[in-house]
């Protein structure tokens, strides 16, 4: 039996030291608060009979208890009845009310029963959290043994920075038995299967398309790519460009330059009514692309801009530009902020600037927002691709980026997120 003393700032930290050094089979013999924090006495290869025998041999007399020997470790906690009943409380004399001590505000004094109770509550909370972590680790290790294929899917998707809830939902669809020889292909196959995409625009479903999104998402360049692709396939006679961006300096000039190169008309609208009149004049065009003002989710003018778009272009198909390098919470806020105009799909922009793609792919899956196009550069129109045709390429790119990046999580992450979770597909 090996016994060792640990001192840490908290009970949680002390137990973490015990687990790291002595492993999961360690036995906690005693714990108490000391000047430096918490003291924990732990042992491995614990034998209670040997422990008690060794403790009694060190005691100076049969009457002396372990608590009277400062250097002797205490055996595991046992609950026993009190040695003698507590003294009865004297009843108040007849006609005399029972005296009640006054309650004073402020923190309990050190060494008082209240302070001891507070310390005990804190220690119990730390023990509860540590037990929660231990159970999660055990559950995750059990999952890896029982279903190694599903565990590998979770590990692969996590490496790609896929959100835990999305990773769990995808992993829950992992087949128990598969004919795929290389198991590393399964996470990619699941992601490809569940990633929502839409087909490429065609003359039959063109009409009016408005691209919305936050500042710097690449909307104007995306509009130019869409316009150039259309002109290459159908000519520019049935194409028109409209800008509602009267805020950003040079925004309309940039779109005007693209329109001049393509030989297509370009119009500017500052209000919803102006936009409606312009669209009425252009109703003979087969494709009208609307470039909107880029505003952040918290910009007070965003509501006004979205209302103007709804008023002037109620029949427009709205595409949301999502910057692929965005973080998970920022992307979710973008989706919520532009929800009033009901985007039918999204365009993933700035793929060439992204360090990982798991966040934007998770956003698309979680919000059931299909991906229409992929933009991976500034070239017009070469760097515009149909998501339907390049979905496998997109998922492989997400895997490649994860292989180039350092590990983002440790074993504790898997235990916390997947140790006790249940998937909901």
Tens digit of pLDDT for each residue in 282-300? Answer: 988 999 999 988 777 777 7
Phi and psi of 208, rounded to 5°? -105, 125
C-alpha 41/C-alpha 72 separation (Å) is 10
Mean residue pLDDT across the chain: 77
54 band by pLDDT with thresholds 50, 70 and 90: very low
Confidence of residue 153 (pLDDT cuts 50, 70, 90): confident
Q: What is the pLDDT of residue 93?
A: 46
Place of tokens 């973080």: 327
Task: Give yes or no for a contact between 59 and 72, defined as CB atoms under 8 angstroms apart.
Answer: yes
**Strand 266-268 with 371-375, pairing:** unpaired
pLDDT at 79 over 50: no
At residue 159, does pLDDT exceed 80?
A: yes
Residue 161 has pLDDT above 70, yes or no: yes
d(CA 370, CA 347): 9
pLDDT in tens, 229-249: 999 988 889 999 999 887 666
Q: How far apart are CA 279 and CA 313, in angstroms?
A: 8
The residue-averaged pLDDT of 391-412 equals 83
Lowest-confidence segment of 52-56, 98-102, 162-166, 264-268 by average pLDDT: 98-102
The pLDDT score that the predictor gives to residue 362 is 95
So what's the pLDDT on residue 248? 66
**With b meaning 16 or more CB within 10 Å and e meaning fewer, what string describes 298-315?**
ebeebeebbebbeebbee
Mean pLDDT of 174-178: 72
Mean pLDDT of 122-130: 70
Q: Determine the pLDDT at residue 394.
A: 95
CA–CA distance, 393 with 387 (Å, rounded to integer): 9
Structural domains in the chain, sorted by start = 1-77 (no CATH), 128-194+409-418 (no CATH), 203-404 (3.40.50.300)
- pLDDT value, residue 137: 63
């Amino acid at each position: 039996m090996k016994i060792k003393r640990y001192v840490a700032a908290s009970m949680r930290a002390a137990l973490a030291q015990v687990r790291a050094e002595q492993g999961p089979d360690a036995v906690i013999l005693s714990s108490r608060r000391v000047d430096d924090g918490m003291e924990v006495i732990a042992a491995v290869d614990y034998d209670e009979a040997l422990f008690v025998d060794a403790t009694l041999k060190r005691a100076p007399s049969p009457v002396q208890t372990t608590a009277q020997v400062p250097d002797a470790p205490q055996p595991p906690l046992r609950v026993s009845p009190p040695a003698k009943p507590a003294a009865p409380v004297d009843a108040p004399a007849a006609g005399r009310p029972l005296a009640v001590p006054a309650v004073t505000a402020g923190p309990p004094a050190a060494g008082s029963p209240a302070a001891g109770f507070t310390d005990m509550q804190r220690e119990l909370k730390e023990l509860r959290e540590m037990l929660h972590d231990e159970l999660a680790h055990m559950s995750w290790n059990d999952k890896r043994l029982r279903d190694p294929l599903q565990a590998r899917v979770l590990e692969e998707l996590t490496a790609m920075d896929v959100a835990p809830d999305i990773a769990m939902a995808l992993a829950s669809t992992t087949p128990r038995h598969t004919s795929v020889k290389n198991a590393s292909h399964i996470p990619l196959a699941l992601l490809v299967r569940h990633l929502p995409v839409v087909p490429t625009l065609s003359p039959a479903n063109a009409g009016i398309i408005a691209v919305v999104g936050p500042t710097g998402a690449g909307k104007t360049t995306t509009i130019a790519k869409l316009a150039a692709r259309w002109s290459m396939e159908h000519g520019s006679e049935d194409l028109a460009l409209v800008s509602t961006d009267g805020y950003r300096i040079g925004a309309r000039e940039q779109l005007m330059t693209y329109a001049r190169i393509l030989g297509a008309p370009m119009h500017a609208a500052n209000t919803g009514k102006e936009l409606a009149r312009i669209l009425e004049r252009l109703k003979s065009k087969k494709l009208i692309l609307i470039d909107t003002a880029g505003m952040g989710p918290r910009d007070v003018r965003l509501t006004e801009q979205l209302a103007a778009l709804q008023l002037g272009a109620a029949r427009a198909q709205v595409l949301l530009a999502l910057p692929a390098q965005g973080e998970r919470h920022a992307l979710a806020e973008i989706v919520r902020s532009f929800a009033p105009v009901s985007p039918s799909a999204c365009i993933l922009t700035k793929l060439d600037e992204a360090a990982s793609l798991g966040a934007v792919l998770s956003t698309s899956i979680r919000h059931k927002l299909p991906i229409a196009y992929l933009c991976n550069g500034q070239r017009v129109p070469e760097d515009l691709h149909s998501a339907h045709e390049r979905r496998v390429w997109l998922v492989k790119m997400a895997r490649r980026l994860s292989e180039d990046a350092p590990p983002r999580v440790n074993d504790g992450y898997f235990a916390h997120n997947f140790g006790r979770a249940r998937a909901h597909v």
